Amino acid sequence: MDIRFDGRVAIVTGAGNGLGRSHALGLAARGAKVVAVDMGGALDGSGGSATAAERVVEEIRAAGGEAMASGVDITDFAAVTGMVDATLAAWGRVDILVNNAGILRDRSFAKMEIEDFRKVVDVHLMGSVHCTKAVWETMRRQNYGRIVFTSSSSGLYGNFGQSNYGAAKAAMLGLMNVLHLEGRKHDIRVNTLAPTAATRMTEQLMSPAALELLRPETITPGVLFLVSEVAPSRTILCAGAGVFAQTVVTETEGVYLDEAQRTPEGVAAHFAAISDTTHERELTEAFHQTDKFVTMAAKAKGVDLKASR
């Protein structure tokens, strides 16, 4: 089965360079009409020009595709809403949103200015929120939507000097989990990409050989799958150098402690059993954990939960 996007309209943020450019070109090559959003700023978010987005649009049009450029600042919700309104006026719908735009302001937490922390969270997290909010009602009305958030191994696993970036990228998981639940009855599927790519953000950190293996084009096929008609939802897809993997958040079975053991010392004494991963499993909603805990406690106390309803 070929994955195509004929008749679909896609918005890609951070589309002027790197991953965003690759995603925009990949969507257009398979038939999507593309809005390339990029304010053209420096890596730290300073400055701005629509030139980068316009270059990508020229590439798409030269290849026979349809595209338009936008230089909006995604931290400005009114500007983002205007961009979406212009898209709807031109093409009548929005089917796909790839939240890719981001900046870096790396420093150790001890040396980081609070404004640099706030700015990175504002771009990565609130920028994604703004774009998603601006298309959400349209996707609900259409009963169709595909949204990708961009996380990072820094958010999933941590990276020295990136407390601001890591916090923002970890937030994508919580946002995805909730919007997956709220959007599923309208066939809005929400996923997260955790890429490792050769981009402006990584070019100073790796060897030329590694950068060649990590070309953005090796990651885009995963994004195209995540925004396709056959996409999953609530998936964290990791990608880099042609390798694809899935991150799954699991919880151990846990241990019930009675009143006598329910002390800090009791938790310490049972911590090996609490941490035992033998029966760990993925929980897909918050109340699944609540139900598990209540069921374990009721069993230990001999409480019939059904009889108490």
- Could you read off the pLDDT tens digit of each residue along the chain, which spans 309 residues? 899 999 999 999 999 999 999 999 999 999 999 999 999 866 655 655 678 999 999 999 999 999 999 999 999 999 999 999 999 999 999 999 999 999 999 999 999 999 999 999 999 999 999 999 999 999 999 999 999 999 999 999 999 999 999 999 999 999 999 999 999 999 999 999 999 976 555 666 667 887 888 899 999 999 999 999 999 999 999 999 999 999 999 999 999 999 999 999 999 999 999 999 999 999 999 999 999 999 999 999 999 988 766
Q: Give pLDDT tens digits for 71-127.
A: 999 999 999 999 999 999 999 999 999 999 999 999 999 999 999 999 999 999 999
pTM score: 0.93
What are the catalytic residues? 165
Q: Give pLDDT tens digits for 198-218.
A: 655 566 666 788 788 889 999
Q: Of 253, 244, 240, which is closest to residue 282 (Cα–Cα)?
A: 253
Domains of the chain: 9-247 (3.40.50.720), 250-301 (1.10.287)
For residue 165, the model assigns a pLDDT of 97
Determine contact, residues 30/24, Cβ cutoff 8 Å. no
